[in-house]
């Protein structure tokens, strides 16, 4: 699987969480032709999906920890340089945190809801990945 760009402000990944990732994987294979690569997670497997012969472009995940309780929708991951600062800015500007960061070390993410109800994840890559993307500010 290729590493997405970690330049702050860019969308780096997209996930779909649902009650049956296998059914969703098969649905998108039939509808848009995506092929799936199994991603082992504890006692089940999620999937990285994408066009045949290409790097994965998205993930399809079971509604189990750590994704349990997330809305059944496509979730974009937006890169930020400082996750804690971005979460504070979200709260200061009328957003809310649906899922706080689970770790103190990068890579890590938090799921937020903006003031009109749209949901996304803020993602802080590890410093080396951010530096390789050409933005260390």
Q: Whole-angstrom Cα distance, residue 73 to residue 69?
A: 11
The predicted structure's pLDDT at residue 136: 42
The reported pTM is 0.81
What pLDDT is stored for residue 103 in this prediction?
82
Q: Which residues 6+ apart lie within 8 Å of 66 measured at CB?
A: 102
Q: What is the mean pLDDT of each run of 10 residues along the chain (137 residues)?
A: 70 92 96 95 91 94 83 92 97 97 86 96 80 49
Return the ∠ at Cα 78 (arms to 130 and 52), rounded to 5°: 90
Closest CA to 42 of 77, 68, 23, 16: 68
Neighbouring-strand partners of residue 113 = 96, 119
In the prediction, which pLDDT does 102 show?
85
The pLDDT, as a whole number, for residue 5 is: 62
**Structure tokens of 60?**
């399809």
Q: What is the pLDDT of residue 59?
A: 95
Terminal-to-terminal C-alpha distance of the chain? 27
């Amino acid at each position: 699987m290729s590493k997405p760009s970690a330049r702050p402000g860019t969308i780096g990944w997209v996930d779909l969480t649902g009650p049956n990732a296998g059914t969703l994987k098969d649905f998108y294979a039939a509808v848009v032709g995506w092929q799936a690569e199994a991603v082992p997670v504890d006692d089940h497997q999620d999937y990285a999906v994408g066009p045949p012969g290409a790097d994965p472009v998205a993930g399809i995940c079971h509604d189990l920890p750590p994704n349990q309780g997330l809305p059944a929708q496509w979730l974009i991951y937006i890169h930020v340089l400082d996750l804690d600062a971005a979460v504070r800015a979200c709260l200061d500007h009328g957003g809310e945190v649906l899922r706080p960061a689970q770790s103190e070390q990068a890579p890590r993410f938090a799921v937020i809801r903006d003031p009109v109800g749209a949901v996304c994840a803020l993602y802080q890559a590890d410093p080396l990945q951010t530096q390789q993307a050409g933005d260390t500010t």
